[in-house]
Amino acid sequence: MAENLCEDRWAGIYVVQKHRATQLHYDFRLEMDGVLKSWAIPKGPSLDHTQRRLAMLVDDHALEHAEVEAEDCIIWDRGCWRPQGDLSPEEQLERGLLEFELAGEKLTGGWGLVRFTDDPKNWLLVKQKDERSRPGSEVTTEEPESVVTGKTLDRGAP
Ligand code: MN
């Protein structure tokens, strides 16, 4: 899926993996410069544009990781992404504001990642207010399953 999935008008692949580690979180990944830029989101994304979700910048991952499903990890969403505006993704990351569009199965429309402290790891993921925002909804609980296998992560003790 890593190659030939996204047409030219998209910048690259996008994936969210729901990961049951010490703390359950969602790994939000965007293909950039041949790797997956990655943020760990404890509460997961929300389609409600009034919600701001803590997103901790973590290590880049190899593109192949986008296809990983395991006992403790499902592919919760995937598709393609592209930056909005004239700045490159790298320039947007440098300024601490990345504005982009997603074409996933669950997440679509406009989004923002905003760095909110001097610590370069601390970002917020926010849905832009557009025709794809769904105020009051929680897509993580409404659609918990893998988009690839339909599996959900077992509840209960990690
Ligand atoms: Mn993880």
**Ion ligand 1 contact residues with beta carbon within 5 A:** 19, 27
CA 94 remoteness from chain centre: 19
What is the distance in A from the centroid of ligand 1 to the CA of 95? 25
DSSP3 helix / strand / coil % (the chain, rounded to 5):
10, 45, 45
What is the distance in A from the centroid of ligand 1 to the CA of 130? 29
What is the distance in A from the centroid of ligand 1 to the CA of 22? 10
What is the distance in A from the centroid of ligand 1 to the CA of 64? 15
Question: Cα(100)–Cα(3) distance, rounded to whole angstroms?
Answer: 20
Q: Which residue has the tokens 């919760």?
A: 76
- Along the 158 residues of the chain, how does pLDDT read in single tens digits? 444 568 888 999 999 999 999 999 999 999 999 999 999 999 999 999 999 999 999 999 999 999 999 999 999 999 999 999 999 999 999 999 999 999 999 999 999 999 998 899 999 999 999 999 999 999 999 999 999 999 998 664 44
What was the pLDDT predicted at 155? 60
* 30-51: burial string, b at 16+ Cβ within 10 Å, e else: bbbeebbbbbbbebbbbbbbeb
- CA end-to-end distance (rounded Å), the chain: 29
The SS3 assignment for 91 reads helix
